[in-house]
Chains A and B, each alone.
Chain A
Amino acid sequence: MFDLILKNIAHRKLRSGLTVFGIALGIFAVIVMGSMSENFNMTFDKSISLTADKIRVLPEGGFVGGGLTESKVREVKRVAGVSDAYGLLQASLDPENLGFGGGNVVIGIPPEKTQITLKDTKLTGGRYLVTGDGYRAVVGSSVAREFKLKVGDDLEIKSKKVQRASSITHTRNFTVVGIMEYTGSFFDSGVIVPLDRAQKFYELGDGVTMILAVPEPNTDPEDLSKRIELNVEKVKTFSPEQLRKQIEQALIIFSLVTISAAVLAAIIGGLSVTNTMLMSVSERTKEFGLMKALGAETKDILFMTVGEAALMGVIGGIIGIAGGAALVYFMNNNFAIILFVITPRLLAIAMSFATLLGVVSGTYPAYRAAKMSPMEALRYE
């Protein structure tokens, strides 16, 4: 029967082509949106696993309130159960030109804390920061690619300070001493500089954006997180678990947007299959009547019609995946940041989605074809 299905699809080339194209477009959207969502998921997963052992301490009123200083760092450090605490400074690399996903980020870290922050992230070249480094920087893989940086190159960092109605922009070159490997985390778009130089450059005194507290072994991070909030004034803490929850919520919203796009694509693709199959079935009314008169079983007719729709779904799916993968490959290689990741899971979802789409939208036309009485079908003109 399979060869009959192929013949029918091939016989109506333009119509089958358009239908397949419709599905391909839908699956293309699923792949592109899906790979973006997968990339976000992966980045957050990796980022969380890099920082999962530390408690984040933020100023109570959010970033706007400011107010975290070295003295707060010392206060956090004194809380029982905290083995180490250090401040981080985060700022945008180019405040005038924020890219997608927040763009590249300057992270000021005390040089001796680099290792504990980045864990076993390796360098593809150069060295990590050491105590006493001046305007030096270790850059993430995405940053290195965007600015085509090699060890020894200079990277321009901008700071923007709003004073009354106008803003003043400072720039300064930092020399790249190390380039990090690709981690799939937010460190890929990070520029790591010594904390003291960052504070000076951004004119923040001894202010920091965030304090990371490392719990002592055998200390429950959840309890410690609450203890820090109680002992240190005007701070809000995020335990690894809280952070995970918060990020997951953001990811759910992102996934919802992606899923809606995919569902929309599915509906459009599905309607086009249904439409084509209805036309094809009504065009072949006589043919089906004849087949029944020749002794075809209802299941033979169902198999042929559903099979035709399913096959168009499969072909559309393959084309859509190929097209989506091509675009993703192109984007990842030609743009500074990696935005897409095609996972086996995503491929499986896209493919079964395409097939299901064909089957579901082919079912009603197939049912119509199969239930037709041979007499009526043969009389049909």
Chain B
Amino acid sequence: MNEREPVLSVRNLSKTYMQGKIPVHALTDVSFDVKKGEFISIVGPSGSGKSTLLSMMGLLDKPTSGSVFIDGMEVTKAKEGDAPKIRREKIGFVFQRFNLIPTLTALENVDIAMRFARVSKHKRKERSVELLTQMGLEGRMKHKPSELSGGEQQRVAIARAMSNHPAIILADEPTGEVDTKTRDMIVALLKELCEKGQTILVVTHDMDVAEKTSRRITMRDGKIASDTQQ
């Protein structure tokens, strides 16, 4: 793919919820592009529409109007049945609460994402070990999430998000549940992944996190208030 072509394009995206009988405009006409290898943060107060935007980009929710393109494909037009395929091939999720499966070990939690992608058992194992080693968790692979610290859990989640070589990693408040030391470690890790060419979009309300990204989009009242390279 051409370096200059965007990995992610958001075009005139709008979302209106009905809260009872009152329409709530969560997103209004949002457009922006994300290039390959960019480390971008979306910030804004709660209710500004940043989480809604993330859901649309991750095919977790349908927009009222507008489109999202990933790798040039208009994913908002994809059929319901194609959504799982797009999710596992194009997108890697990292959540605030880590969302690891409590019954599975660190290794199995990474492995499961590739299972859904029908990767062979041997390749899954190889990739899981490789990723967890990269995250500095080589000694913790057989541990369950309850036996891991918050930072370790989030690193497992990042390894899981990376497993299927996604076009973009969407991280929703990835540092919301950890202390500042762990936060810095996670941000540094994400930054390192970006330098290796991984595109990462972080939604956060933590300005310290946003400052470390190469580009910052600020949302207010469902619209983009500013978009700055830093």
Instruction: Give the distance to chain A from B29, nearest Cβ to Cβ, in Å.
Output: 22
Taking a contact as CB atoms under 8 Å apart, the answer to whether A291 and B112 are in contact is yes
Taking a contact as CB atoms under 8 Å apart, the answer to whether A7 and B85 are in contact is no
Q: A291-B116, A374-B60 are in contact. Are A296 and B84 (CB under 8 A)?
A: yes
Chain A residues with CB under 8 A of B115: 1
Q: A291-B116, A295-B85, A375-B60 are in contact. Are A11 and B103 (CB under 8 A)?
A: yes
Measured between alpha carbons, how far is A290 from B93 in the docked complex, in Å?
9
Quick one: closest B residue to A377, CB to CB? B60
A233 CB within 8 Å of chain B = no
Interface of A is mostly: helix
Measured between alpha carbons, how far is A296 from B86 in the docked complex, in Å?
11
List A292-315 residues whose CB lies under 8 Å from chain B.
Answer: 292-298, 300
Measured between alpha carbons, how far is A300 from B99 in the docked complex, in Å?
19
A286 CB within 8 Å of chain B = yes
Chain B residues with CB under 8 A of A8: 103
Instruction: Give the distance to chain A from B179, nearest Cβ to Cβ, in Å.
Output: 23
Most B Cβ at <10 Å: residue of A4, A294, A374: A294
Q: A373-B60, A375-B55, A378-B60 are in contact. Are A295 and B103 (CB under 8 A)?
A: no
Quick one: closest B residue to A296, CB to CB? B116
Measured between alpha carbons, how far is A278 from B145 in the docked complex, in Å?
24
Give A residues with C-beta under 8 Å from B.
Answer: 1, 4, 7-8, 11, 286-287, 290-298, 300, 373-375, 378
Give B residues with C-beta under 8 Å from A.
Answer: 55, 58, 60-61, 84-85, 87-89, 93, 95, 99, 101, 103-104, 112-113, 115-117, 160, 164
Q: List 17 A-B contacts (CB under 8 A).
A: A4-B112, A8-B103, A290-B99, A290-B101, A291-B112, A293-B58, A294-B88, A294-B116, A294-B160, A295-B84, A295-B85, A295-B87, A295-B117, A296-B84, A296-B116, A373-B61, A378-B95
Extra 18 A-B pairs, beta carbons < 8 Å, given A295-B164, A373-B61: A4-B104, A7-B104, A11-B103, A287-B101, A290-B95, A290-B101, A291-B116, A292-B84, A293-B93, A294-B88, A294-B93, A294-B113, A295-B84, A296-B88, A297-B84, A297-B116, A375-B61, A378-B99
